[in-house]
A and B are shown apart, each in its own frame.
Chain A
Amino acid sequence: MGISPVLWQFLVKWLHNSALFPAEASTIAPYTDELYFFLILVSIFGTLVVLALVVGFSVKYRREKNPVATQVEGSTLLEATWTIIPLAIFLLVFVWGGLLYFRIYSPPANSMNIYVVGKQWMWKAEHPTGQHEINALHVPVGRPVQLTMISQDVFHSFSIPDFRVKREVIPGRYSTVWFQATDPGVYHIFCTQYCGTQHAGMIGEVTALTPDDYQKWLKESTSGMSLAQNGERLFASMGCNSCHSGNAAARGPNLAGVYGSRLTMNDGSQVLVNDAYLRDSILNPSQHVTAGFAPIMPTYQGQISEDGLIDLVEYIKQLQSNYRVQQTQLTSESNQAAPTTPPQSSNEMVKP
């Protein structure tokens, strides 16, 4: 072939850079691909059947060969066949897809949690141990990772094609997705829900690391404060501790160990305390009044950012005893009593 070497090299490079199939880099991916290949087979089979019928009949009954058509009204048997067989295949696909859906959207109990905040146009990942990343996410391989995600503004959608997972990131409520990476490497994060001008720029990279490398990364990139520690500071500075002190006479319910428990509300209903509940009861307290307490908590809507809410949620999640809450409260009260103390010292005192 008379193709010039330059062009040839260019073509080779170009094709080398191209991709036809995504990497299988999570435990979910093989399951998704299985269904995908099954569906492709069904599609090819279905298309071939229709093609064979159309081409076959067209050749056999073209006008040259069959000048006069034979009128046929229809056939209940045939029609029943092509109603029932597709229906059976579709139902099989439905069951299979449903099982896969529950697999993808049901996180294992032992998964580690990372928070993700989407905003125009970036992904902010916050690790409980205090690492903050923008448009990047470091995860260990071989461990289930759950992302608790929320949007600060519009709908986004968090997608890692090589892990075959995706979930809408919605303003005003937490959504979750989980995966377990299998191969160390760097994979794309896309925002797949159109979110405004720089939608195509809302991309990032998830880096799957071996457990050793992950530990190394955790040490190198720590900010010094875990989310719970940030939350503790916020808890004190917003004055939450004045009511939620855990004292018998406190005006707010005791928060130690509340996460994961079932609470009885003042209207008698029972709720499970999870991330979404904690967040919503800070923003819309009057809709979440625990039995035996007065609806006196003010709303913090518009006063705490989504990051701050995550800090608070993470703090309350880990709160097992009220000792430090009460200590902090005493300190801040004594600070208020002695105005000579510089105001920022109260923050200093909270620090571990």
Chain B
Amino acid sequence: MDNAAITLNEPLMPHEEAVSGRDPHGHVMLPQHRHHFETEEQQREAGSFGMWLFLLTEIMFFGGMFFAYLLYRNWYNPAFVVASNQLNVVLGAINTAVLITSGFFMALGVYAAEVRNRSMLVWMLILTSVFGCIFLGVKYFEYKEKYEKHHIPGVNFNISEFVNPPIDAKTHKPDQPAIAPDMAQKTQIFFFLYFGMTGMHALHMIIGLGLLVWLIWRANRGDFSFGYVAPIENFGLYWHFVDIVWLFLFPLLYLINRHPLK
């Protein structure tokens, strides 16, 4: 049968002989091979196909919020402009870089699994999660800043600085244009969407970090060092998807309305 052929064509790792079993029909099976797949290739294809479909559902999930963002940005553009200017673009940019770096290490991790290099894989996964944690740390400081500036909708929100922007000490001019109180109210919607979208993104990061810990543990055990890359590959897809969502969030929330004010 096919899987037997594959097994013979590929060099076996020494420990593999010990763990590989035989199914009831006498076919040699690799330990990761689930019995209901005809071949390992079928299993791998099914896994990545399933992952792509799952990412499609994720796109639809975020799509709902992107749709709300576009609608309200269209309706309440002035409020979105000033509220967007309140976001910390430096921290946002740093986070973008951090996340891209994390994604880079993830890609290296997939490579490491493909070349069956266990220690490199473990290190790459650790680096991926370290940068993931840095991202969440930066996010924490951003959220904290929002709390201090009374930008948490519903709980702790103050529109006064949009109505009467503080005077800049150097230029003696307001640091941003004032908007009418009724429009200033709509900044709450911006911040709600900001927290909703970045919060959902952060939630995906946290879930991803949880999975990473599990993968690091398994990688260290040597599960992915003999040609079984599917879990690493599929997790990589997920992680890159989370990166890409951020690559949309960053310009939409931080950059699109930013004008040189001074």
Contact = CB atoms under 8 A, between A and B. Distances in A.
Interface of A: 283-287, 295-299, 301
Q: What is the interface of chain B mostly: helix, strand, loop, or mixed?
A: helix
A284 B185 CA distance: 10
10 nearest A-B pairs in the assembled complex, by CB-CB distance: A286-B180, A299-B182, A286-B183, A284-B182, A295-B180, A299-B181, A286-B182, A301-B182, A285-B182, A298-B181
6 contacts: A285-B182, A286-B78, A286-B179, A286-B180, A287-B182, A287-B183
Interface of B: 78, 179-183, 185
Contacts of B180: 285-286, 295-299
A287, A295, A296 interface centre (most CB from chain B within 10 Å): A287
A42 B183 CA distance: 53
Contacts of A301: 182, 185
Nearest to B181: A299
Nearest to A298: B181
Contacts, number: 24
Contacts of A285: 180, 182
A296 B185 CA distance: 15
A130 to B, nearest CB: 30
Contacts of A298: 180-182
A283 B185 CA distance: 12
Nearest to A295: B180
A186 B34 CA distance: 73
Contacts of B179: 286
A283 B181 CA distance: 10
Nearest to B76: A287
Contacts of B181: 298-299
A284, A285, A301 interface centre (most CB from chain B within 10 Å): A284
A145 B180 CA distance: 38
A251 to B, nearest CB: 14
A67 B199 CA distance: 67
A205 B185 CA distance: 40
A42 B179 CA distance: 58
A286 B183 CA distance: 6
A298 B179 CA distance: 11
A284 B182 CA distance: 6
A283 B180 CA distance: 12
A298 B184 CA distance: 11
Contacts of A283: 182
Nearest to B182: A299
Contacts of A299: 180-182, 185
A297 B183 CA distance: 12
Contacts of A286: 78, 179-180, 182-183
A287 B183 CA distance: 8
Nearest to B178: A295
B235 to A, nearest CB: 44
B193 to A, nearest CB: 19
B157 to A, nearest CB: 15
A25 to B, nearest CB: 40
Nearest to A283: B182
Given A284-B182, A286-B182, 12 more contacts: A283-B182, A285-B182, A286-B179, A286-B180, A286-B183, A287-B182, A296-B180, A297-B180, A299-B180, A299-B181, A299-B182, A299-B185
A295 B181 CA distance: 10
A69 B129 CA distance: 65
Nearest to B184: A286
A296 B183 CA distance: 12
Contacts of B183: 284, 286-287
A285 B150 CA distance: 25
A295 B183 CA distance: 11
A194 B255 CA distance: 42
A299 B159 CA distance: 14
